[in-house]
Structure 1
Amino acid sequence: MRLRTATLAALFTTTAAVPAYAGETASTDSSTDAAESAAETPAPAPAAKAFTTGVAKGRDLLDSAISASILDDHDLRQLSVSSIAGIMQNIPGIRSETSDIDGYSAITIRGLPLAAEGSKFLQLQEDGLPVLEFGDIQFAGIDQFLRADLSLSQVQAIRGGSASTFASNSPGGLINFISHTGETRGGALQVSSGVGHDLKRIDFAYGSPLGDGWRFHVGGFYRSGEGPRAIGYTGFSGGQIKANITKTFEGGYVRLYAKYLDDRQPNYGTVPVTIGGTNADPRIGFLPGYDIREEGYSSPLTATYAETDRNNNRTILDTRDGLAAQVKAVGLEAQFEVAGWTVTNRFRFSDTSGAYNDNAPFVTAPAPFFAQFGGPGARLSYAAGPQSGQAITDARLLALSVRIYADLESLDYAVNDLRASRVWEVGEGKLTATAGLYNSRQDIRMFWNFTSTLQDLAGGGINAPVNITTAGGVPVTDAGTLAYGFAVGLPFSIYHNRYDVGYDVLAPYGSVNYQIGKLAIGASVRWDKGNVQGQVFSPGFGDGRAPFVAFDVNGDGQVSLAERRVPVLPLSRPAAVDYDYDYLSYSAGVNYRFADSLSAFARYSRGGRATAENAIGTETLDPVSGRPANPEILVSVVKQAEAGVKYRKDGLSLFLTGFWASTDERNAQITADSSGQAFVQQIKRTYSAKGVEFEGEYRHGPFTLVAGATFTKAKIDKDVLDPAFSGRTPRHIPDFAFFLRPSAEFGKVTFGAAVNGTTESFSQDTNQLVQPGYVLVSPFVQYRPAEGFTLAVNAFNVFDKLAIVSLQAPTIPASGITNAQVMNGRTVTASLRYAF
C-alpha cells in the first residue's frame, strides 16, 4: 500500500492547557534554581528504569525478557496531553483512536483487530489492578473511568510477554497508571484556561513524609466549560480526587488509598463530511458552514428527548450528560516478609456507574429526501429553537440520527491479587519462584436503547430538531423523533436491552525465573476460570409476542405514528444467563545481558481473553440453556512471539523489538455498505500481524529527543463467514506510526513539541477507501519568571489541519457524504503553575 502522510500540527490536550503533570514535584527541591541548573550541565543519562507491571519482580528493563515502556514523571511533563488515550499514543505498538476525550476510544496493540470501541486485548490498570475486568463492555470503555492529573506518577506498558500470565484478560498487553505516594515533600497548584474556547481547569497535588514510616499523597482536578468544539452548553464538568497513606516498616509496607471521580464530557463521535477524489486518494472536506474540527453535533436544542426507561416507563433523556463517569473506590495494598517469602496483596472495591450518550448521523441528505417519510405533499418544519414552527422549503441538508443512550447503572468491581515470591541460591545462579491467586467480581447492570431523530446541520451549537407532517396535517414525528427504536432497515429491537449479570473470575498463576551470570530464563502459567450468572431482558429474544407496542411515550394523551411501534422490555420474561468458561495462558522467555549497556531477549506467549456481554446478546445467547449458542465466542486466544535488543549508555538508549501476533476473533463490528450506511456485521476470523517496534532517547546538554516507531503488517488470515475477506488488511491498522518529543531548556525557558504521526490505512476491511494518515505537531513553551512559578502556552493543531481518526464508508458513496471521527482543530491553551 502506498504510504503517504498529511502534515498536521496537534497538541494532545482537551481538558488542560498544558501538561497536567508539569507541577508534580519529585523532590523537595522544586525551585527554579534547580530547573535553571539543568541548562548549564549535561543532561543526565537515560535512567535504568525499574519495571514492575506484568512481571514477577521489578527489574531493570535490560534484565527483563519483555518489550516494555515507561513514561515517568519527567516524561509525563513533556506530554501536552491529559486524556488517557492520548497518553497511550506515545507508547510504541499502541494504536489509540480518540477524539481527545476519555471514552469512546478504540485501543489495540501490535496490529490486533479493532472490531469495536474499547480495548479488548489490552488491559488498563490503575496502581496494579484493572479498572474494569473487561476492556470492551458495550458503551463503557475503560478509559471513561480513568483520569490523568497531578496525582499520576508513572505509566508502565508491557506489550505481549508475561502480561498474559500476570493479569486476566490481557493477552495483548498491560498499561498501568501508577499514582504518587508521597515519598518526598512537595506539591503544586495549576490553573489552566482555553484561549479562544471555554474550558477552565484547576489541578492540585501534595505529598509528604509524616515521620515514623508514614507518608501520604493527595491530588486531583476540577474542570468546567463548553470545550474546544461549539456545542452550546457546558460539556465538560467535574473532576476527581485521589488520596493514599502509606506505613513502611522493615520488610514491607501497608497502603490505604481512595478515589472519587465524578466527571462528564461531550462525546465527540462521528459527524458528516464531504468526500471526493478516488478511493486511493480521497479528498475530505466539510459541509457548508460546518467545520467539524470546531463544531459539535450536539446542541441545547437537540439535548433532550422522550423515551422509555429500563422499567418501560416514560422518561426524558438529557444528552448533555455526555460520557459520564462516577467512581467511588477504596483499596488496600500490603507487602511483607514471611519465612523468606515476599508476600504482596492488592485489593480494591470500586462503586462504578455512569452514562453514555451519542447522537450519530445515520443518513445525511437534502431536506426533500426526508419529506418522503410523510408521503406525497408532506411538510418539514423546525421543532424547537428560534425558528420553531418555521417551514423548511429548500434543499438544506438534514440528518437522520441514531441516538444511543446507555444507563450504566452498576459496573461495580471487586478485585484481589495475592502473590508470594522467593529467591533461592541454586548453584551459581538465583532461582525466583512466584505463586499467586487472583479473584474478581465484575457486575454489568446496564440498560441501553436506540432512538431515531431528525435534525438540521446549522452548527455553532444551534443544531435543531425537525418535524415531518403529512399533507393532511398528521404528525409523523414527535419533536423530531421519527421512531422509538431504529427507523431504517431491519427491526433493530435487539438494541433495546437490559443486562443484570455478574462475572466471577478465579485465576491461580505462577512463574519461575533462573538467572545465572548474564543469562536469565523464565516461564509463567495462568489458569483463568470464570462463572457468569444473571439475566438479560430484550424484545429481541422473542417468544412469539410482538417486540413492539403502541405507547404514549411523550405523555400528551395521544398515540402518534412514531409511538405505534415502541420496543418494550419483557420484564416478566428475562433470558437466564448461567455458564462457565476457562482458558490457559503461558509465557516463556530468555534474556542475555552481553554487557552493562547491551542485552537481548526472546519470548513466546499464549494468552486468553474472555468475552463479556457481547457473548449474551440476542444474536449469541441461547435463552433456554443460558449459554452462548456458539461456545467458540467465549474465549479469544492470542499468540505472540517476540525478540529484541536493548542498548543504554551515557545519554543514549535504544530498544528494538520484532514481533508476531495472532488471534481468533468472534465479535460484532459496526461497518458500512457501499452507500455509506452503517450496519452491524458479525465476524468469525483469525488475524495475524508482524512488525518491528522501536523506542529511543538521546540527551545532550540542554537538548533531549525521545522517539518511537512501529512498523506493522497485519492480515485477516481467514474469514469463516465471508471468505472474500481472507487475506485482506484489517481496517485502521497503518503500516507505520511514530512519535517524537524534542525539547530544549535554556535558563528560564523550556520549549519543545510532541509529534505523532501515522501513515494511511483502510477505512474498512473491504480494502477500498484509504483513510488518510496524519502528522500531529504539538509545540509548547514554558517560562519560569520567579521561583516556583511557571507560565505555559500550548498550541493544539497549530496549523489547523484535518486529522482523520476513522472514516465510516468502505468506498466513496454516490452521495459524496460519509461520517468521520476527527481530532480537534487549532486549540490554544495557557496555564499558570505554582510548585511548592
Structure 2
Amino acid sequence: MKTQLIAVSAISLATALATPAWAQDGAPVADAREEPEAEGQRGSEFDEIIVTGRAGTSDLRKAEASYAVTTLSDEALRITNPSSAAETFKMVPGFWVESSGGEGSNNVRARGIPTDGYSSVALQENGISVQYDGGLGYLNADQSFRFDETIARVEAVRGGPASIYAPNAPGGVVNFITRKGSENPGGLVKYTWGNYGLNRLDAYYGTSLGDNWGVFVGGFYRQSDGMRDMGFKAEKGGQIRGTIDYNDGRNSFALDIKHIDDKVPFYLPVPLTYDADGDIADVPGFDSRSDTLAGGDTRRVDILNVGQPYDFDLSEGTHTQLTQVTLTGSLALSDTLTLESRTRYKDADILRNAVFPTGNVTPLDEYLASLSGALAAFPGATELRAQYASDGSVLTSTTNGNGLLIGGNLLSVSVPIEEIITDNRLVAEIEAGGIHNLALGFTYGSADFRFDRYMGTSLLDVQGNARFVDVVALDANGDVVGSVTDNGFLRYGSIYDNVSMGAENIAIYGGDEWQITPELRLDAAARWERTNINGVVAQKTTVSLGDDTNLADDNVLTGSGAFTPVDRSFDDWGWTIGANYQFTRYAGVFARYTDTFRLPSAGEYNGNPERTDQRSIPIKMAELGFKYGSPVFDLFATAFYSKFEGVRFTNYRFNEETNQYDDPQVVIADTETLGIELEALVKPADFFDFAVQATWQDPQYKGFTYTDQAGNLIDYDGNQLIRVPKLALRAVPGVNLFDGRLRAELEVEHYSDRYPDIANNQTLPSYTQLNINVRGELTENLVLGLNVTNLTDELGLTEGNPRAGSFDSGDANADYFLARPVFGRTIRASLGFKF
C-alpha cells in the first residue's frame, strides 16, 4: 500500500540524497517532479534508497532498481498494524500468503514457487537472514521473528538478485529494518486492545549519544485468548531488543541483542460442509470463523509412551525462547573500497504443540460401522458404543448437534537450535568505461539442531473445543468388555522421531553494477554455494505397552536404540544479469534473467535418513519491468516467468485404519509460471488516494505423471499449483483529513479459486475480505489507531487438509471436509504516546 503519509516521508529523505549517478554530468531533466517541492507537498517513494538485493557503495534509488522491489514505510506499517510477519507480505504483490495459521508457522509463496513455509523466501532482519534455511522442517523462519514497533520499514525483493545475495531465496527477500537511536530518536508507549481478549503493550526509546553514537531499546508484551477460542490464554509473552550504533558517515557499527519468550497457538483446518445451494457452510454447532477443535480436553494430556508418559501441554502452543545477537558494520578501507560485515548468532529452543485434525469428518454411525472388525479383539463383544472419555456419557447422532467425529493428532515437536551466520563483503567503486560498483562476498552458516517429535492419535467429536471420545465394546448384556480407544486415544506413538543434525554452508558471490551512461546501467552477479549435512536419525520399532483392555497401546512407535548416520553434501552455482534504462528521473524500464538453484535442506532427512532422491533444484526466472511516477500517478508493473525443474512432490496421506501415514508416493516434476505484478497509486488530491496491488499468474505443473497403486497412469500436466490463486488483488482507497492528522483506509482483498490438491479435484472458492484501518493524531503526542479485519465476517479458505493427500485429496466430493479459513471479524484499538 502506498499512501499520502508514505509519500510525505520521502520528502526529507529525497532532499538529503546526493544526485544519483544517472543524473550526473548534465543528464537530461524531463520530468516536472524534478523541480524542488514546496514544504508539505508530496514527494515520491521513487526516491527511497534501496539496500536489499544488491551490493554496492553508491546509493540506489527505488526508481533505478533493475528488479522488482516494494518498500513499506513506517507510516504504512503503523496504520495497517500487521499482527505477524506474514501479514506484511500481503502488502507486496507477487506473494501469496497464508497467515491463517496465526503469528508463526505460516506459508509464503512467490511467483509460482511450489514449496511451502519460508523454504524459498528469505526472512531478514537488517540485511541478514533470521535463519539460514527458512524451511528447516517444522521450523519456519517466522517462528524466530515477531513484528513490533521496533521495525522501522520493510523492503521486499522478488526473484532477481535475491538468490545471489541471500541464501535460500529464489522467491525473494523480505528485509525488516529496525530502528536505531541515531536515526530514530524519541520514544513511544502504545497500548492495544483486541476483541479476542488481547491486551498488548509496545514501547521503545532511542536517543543519540553525541554526533555519531546512538542507543535504542524496545519491545512488547501481550496476552490474549487467541484469534480462535481455545478456552484458555493462548498467547502470552513478548520480546525485547537493545541496540547500540555508530555512524560517522564513512564507518558504521551496530550491536543488536534480541530476546524472545513468547507462546502463540498454531491454528489448523476445521470441519466444513455444503449448504443446499452447494456453497461452503458451517457444520451445525461449529463456527468456522472463531472455533477450533483444540480446547480444554486437549490442553494438558499424558500421551502414553515407553517409560514415562509424554506430557503434552497445548497451552505451550508454539513456544519460542530465543536469544539473538547481531553485529553489523562497515569499514572504509579507502575512498573507494569498503568492508561490510554482518554476523548473527542465535540460540533458540522452539516447541510446537498443536492438535492436527486428520482423516475424514465422519458421521457417528458410519464411523462405528467402519470399526466392526475390532469386535474380534474382545471375546463376547457384540457391538460398539461411543462415549465421552471424561465422564462416560453416551454420544449419539444428536448429542453434540451434528453427530460427527474426527481424528485428531496431538503432535509435539521440539527443535532446539544453535546457529551462526556471517556475511562479509568487499565493495568498491571504480571508473572504467563508466562507473562500476563491485562486490565480492563470502557467507558462512552453521546450524546444529535436534528434532524430537512424538504424537498420539485421538478421536474427537466435532464442536468448538472438541471433546475426547472413547469407543467401547459391549457384550450382549450391554457390559463393557474392552475398548478400541484409551482416554480418547486411538493410538499412542503414531509418530516418533529422534534426530540430531548439523548443517554447514559456505557461499562465495560477486557482482558488478555498471553505470555505462547516465541513463543505462547493467548489473551481473553470481553465487556458488555448498551445504554439508551431517547427523544421526534414530531407527524405529513398534512395541506394545501391554494393556489388553484396549487397542490404543498395541502399536507404539519408539526408538530401537540404533541410529542411522547422515552424511550428504551438495553444491551448485547460479547467476543473474539485469539492465535498467531511465528515460527520466521517475520513468524507466528494466529486464533481468536469473539462473539459480535451491539446495536440499537438512530437514528433509528428519524422517528418512537413507533417502537418495535429494539434489539441487534448478530454477530459471525472467522479468521485465516498467516504472513511472508523476504527482498524480505512480506505477510499477513487472511481467515475470519462473520455472522449477525436477521438484520432488510427496503425497502424505494419513491412514485412519492404521492411524499412521502411509508410505508416501514421490513424483518428480517441473513447475512453470507466467504472470504480472502491478503496484499503482492514484493521488488526485491531498485528501484522497487510491492504491492497488495485483498479481495475475498462471502457475502450472509440467510433466506431472505417475502410476498409482492400482496401476493407473495419472497425468496432472498443466494443472494449477496447489493453494496459489491466479488472481490476488488488494485495493486501498484512503482519505486524509485535518491536514493529514487523520487517515482512514478501506482494504479490499480478493483471491480467486485455489486447489488443495494437485489433481485440482477440490476447489477452495474465491473470496473477498474487507478491512478498515484508521490512524489519527489526537495531539502532537497522542495517536489513536483502529484496525478492523474481515469486516463482513467472510468465510474464506486458505488451505485444505494436507493430511488427506496432496496429490488427490480424500476430502474431494465429500459431504464434510477440512480446510483452514481466515479469521473472523477482529477489532483492535490502540492508543500511543509519542515523546
TM-score (norm 1): 0.87
Which residue does 2:481 correspond to in 1?
473
Give the 3 Å change call, closer, same or farther, for CA 209–681 of structure 1 in structure 2: farther
Shift of 1:833: 1.2
Which residue does 2:25 correspond to in 1?
none
Corresponding letter in the other structure for 1:456: D
Between the aligned partners of 2:424 and 2:549, the Cα distance in structure 1 is 58
Task: Please list, as runs of the form range in 1=range in 2, the aligned pairs for 1:667-682 lying within 5 A after superposition.
Answer: 667-670=649-652, 680-682=664-666
Deviations 1:645-666 (A, max 9, x none): 1112334321111111000211
Deviations 1:393-424 (A, max 9, x none): 44553433232524333122210000011011
Give the 3 Å change call, closer, same or farther, for CA 143–253 of structure 1 in structure 2: same
2:264 is aligned with 1:257: no
2:311 is aligned with 1:316: yes
Deviations 1:162-191 (A, max 9, x none): 111111211121111111112132111111
Corresponding letter in the other structure for 1:697: L
Task: Please list, as runs of the form range in 1=range in 2, the aligned pairs for 1:13-32 lying within 5 A after superposition.
Answer: none
Corresponding letter in the other structure for 2:785: A
Q: 1:307 aligns with which of 283, 294, 303?
A: 303
User: Is the partner of 1:604 in helix, strand or coil?
Assistant: strand
Shift of 1:305: 2.4
Shift of 1:312: 6.1
Which residue does 1:443 correspond to in 2?
448
Deviations 1:463-508 (A, max 9, x none): 211112211432322211110144xxxxxxxx42122110000101
Deviations 1:580-600 (A, max 9, x none): 110101111111111112111
Which residue does 2:522 correspond to in 1?
521
Shift of 1:151: 0.3
Which residue does 1:193 correspond to in 2?
193
2:101 is aligned with 1:93: no
Corresponding letter in the other structure for 1:354: I
1:164–1:606 CA contact under 8 A, matched in 2: no
Corresponding letter in the other structure for 1:708: Q
Corresponding letter in the other structure for 2:453: W
2:648 is aligned with 1:666: yes
1:46–1:650 CA contact under 8 A, matched in 2: no
Between the aligned partners of 2:216 and 2:690, the Cα distance in structure 1 is 31
Which residue does 1:369 correspond to in 2?
366
Between the aligned partners of 2:211 and 2:549, the Cα distance in structure 1 is 72
User: Is the partner of 2:71 in helix, strand or coil?
Assistant: strand
2:620 is aligned with 1:639: yes
Between the aligned partners of 2:246 and 2:602, the Cα distance in structure 1 is 40
Task: Please list, as runs of the form range in 1=range in 2, the aligned pairs for 1:800-815 lying within 5 A after superposition.
Answer: 800-808=793-801, 810=809, 813=812, 815=814
Which residue does 1:150 correspond to in 2?
149
Corresponding letter in the other structure for 1:727: G
**How many residues of Structure 1 are paired with residues of Structure 2 in the alignment?**
764
Q: 2:790 aligns with which of 781, 793, 797?
A: 797
2:321 is aligned with 1:326: yes
2:101 is aligned with 1:110: no
Deviations 1:22-66 (A, max 9, x none): xx9999xxxxxxxxxx99954443351111112113511222211
Corresponding letter in the other structure for 1:108: R
Give the 3 Å change call, closer, same or farther, for CA 751–616 of structure 1 in structure 2: same
Q: 1:295 aligns with which of 287, 291, 294?
A: 291
Structure 2: gaps of 5 or more residues: 13-36, 376-381, 475-479, 708-713
Between the aligned partners of 1:138 and 1:409, the Cα distance in structure 2 is 9
Which residue does 1:18 correspond to in 2?
none
Between the aligned partners of 2:227 and 2:215, the Cα distance in structure 1 is 35
Which residue does 2:595 correspond to in 1?
606
Shift of 1:144: 1.7
Between the aligned partners of 2:655 and 2:155, the Cα distance in structure 1 is 40
Corresponding letter in the other structure for 2:80: L
Q: Which moved more, 1:634-643 or 1:465-474?
A: 465-474
User: Is the partner of 1:51 in helix, strand or coil?
Assistant: coil
2:737 is aligned with 1:746: yes
1:663–1:686 CA contact under 8 A, matched in 2: yes
Give the 3 Å change call, closer, same or farther, for CA 312–502 of structure 1 in structure 2: farther
2:705–2:715 CA contact under 8 A, matched in 1: no
Deviations 1:441-460 (A, max 9, x none): 1223111133210122232x
Deviations 1:359-402 (A, max 9, x none): 12223222233435353422222112xxx121224455343323
Corresponding letter in the other structure for 1:703: F
2:379 is aligned with 1:389: no
Which residue does 1:586 correspond to in 2?
575
Which residue does 1:84 correspond to in 2?
85
Task: Please list, as runs of the form range in 1=range in 2, the aligned pairs for 1:528-539 lying within 5 A after superposition.
Answer: 528-539=529-540
Which residue does 2:675 correspond to in 1?
691
2:726 is aligned with 1:735: yes
User: Is the partner of 1:74 in helix, strand or coil?
Assistant: helix
Between the aligned partners of 1:141 and 1:107, the Cα distance in structure 2 is 10
Corresponding letter in the other structure for 2:790: N
Which residue does 1:416 correspond to in 2?
422
CA RMSD of aligned residues (A): 2.8
Between the aligned partners of 1:128 and 1:155, the Cα distance in structure 2 is 11
Corresponding letter in the other structure for 2:675: G
Q: 2:457 aligns with which of 427, 452, 464?
A: 452
Between the aligned partners of 1:778 and 1:430, the Cα distance in structure 2 is 47
Between the aligned partners of 2:720 and 2:483, the Cα distance in structure 1 is 47
Shift of 1:277: 7.2
2:42–2:631 CA contact under 8 A, matched in 1: no
Between the aligned partners of 1:61 and 1:786, the Cα distance in structure 2 is 33
Corresponding letter in the other structure for 2:171: G
Between the aligned partners of 1:188 and 1:815, the Cα distance in structure 2 is 52
2:570 is aligned with 1:570: no
Which residue does 1:16 correspond to in 2?
none
Higher relative contact order (CA 8 A, sep 6+): 1
Between the aligned partners of 1:815 and 1:125, the Cα distance in structure 2 is 42
Corresponding letter in the other structure for 1:407: V
Q: Which moved more, 1:39-48 or 1:754-763?
A: 39-48
Deviations 1:810-835 (A, max 9, x none): 48656400001011111122221111
Between the aligned partners of 2:731 and 2:259, the Cα distance in structure 1 is 34
2:401 is aligned with 1:400: no
Q: 1:335 aligns with which of 302, 312, 330?
A: 330
User: Is the partner of 1:693 in helix, strand or coil?
Assistant: strand
Shift of 1:87: 0.9
Between the aligned partners of 1:321 and 1:674, the Cα distance in structure 2 is 27
2:205 is aligned with 1:209: no
Give the 3 Å change call, closer, same or farther, for CA 177–72 of structure 1 in structure 2: same
Between the aligned partners of 2:101 and 2:356, the Cα distance in structure 1 is 18
Structure 1: gaps of 5 or more residues: 1-10, 12-20, 28-37, 487-494, 540-546, 623-627
Shift of 1:215: 0.4
Shift of 1:109: 0.3
Shift of 1:510: 0.5
Deviations 1:781-822 (A, max 9, x none): 334333311233322211111111123374865640000101
Give the 3 Å change call, closer, same or farther, for CA 651–325 of structure 1 in structure 2: farther
TM-score (norm 2): 0.87
Which residue does 1:33 correspond to in 2?
none
Which residue does 1:656 correspond to in 2?
637
2:436–2:515 CA contact under 8 A, matched in 1: yes
Q: 2:699 aligns with which of 686, 689, 714?
A: 714
Give the 3 Å change call, closer, same or farther, for CA 406–414 of structure 1 in structure 2: farther
Corresponding letter in the other structure for 1:736: L
Which residue does 1:73 correspond to in 2?
74
Between the aligned partners of 2:716 and 2:279, the Cα distance in structure 1 is 26
Corresponding letter in the other structure for 1:725: Y
Identity %: 26
User: Is the partner of 1:473 in helix, strand or coil?
Assistant: strand
Q: Which moved more, 1:598-607 or 1:645-654?
A: 645-654
Between the aligned partners of 1:582 and 1:40, the Cα distance in structure 2 is 54
Give the 3 Å change call, closer, same or farther, for CA 152–549 of structure 1 in structure 2: same
Between the aligned partners of 2:688 and 2:656, the Cα distance in structure 1 is 50
Q: Which moved more, 1:47-56 or 1:803-812?
A: 803-812
1:103–1:140 CA contact under 8 A, matched in 2: no
Give the 3 Å change call, closer, same or farther, for CA 713–467 of structure 1 in structure 2: same
Deviations 1:608-645 (A, max 9, x none): 112214532555x32xxxxx422xx2322211011111
Q: 1:629 aligns with which of 603, 612, 618?
A: 612
User: Is the partner of 1:771 in helix, strand or coil?
Assistant: coil
2:495 is aligned with 1:500: no
Task: Please list, as runs of the form range in 1=range in 2, the aligned pairs for 1:263-278 lying within 5 A after superposition.
Answer: 263-275=262-274
Corresponding letter in the other structure for 1:470: A
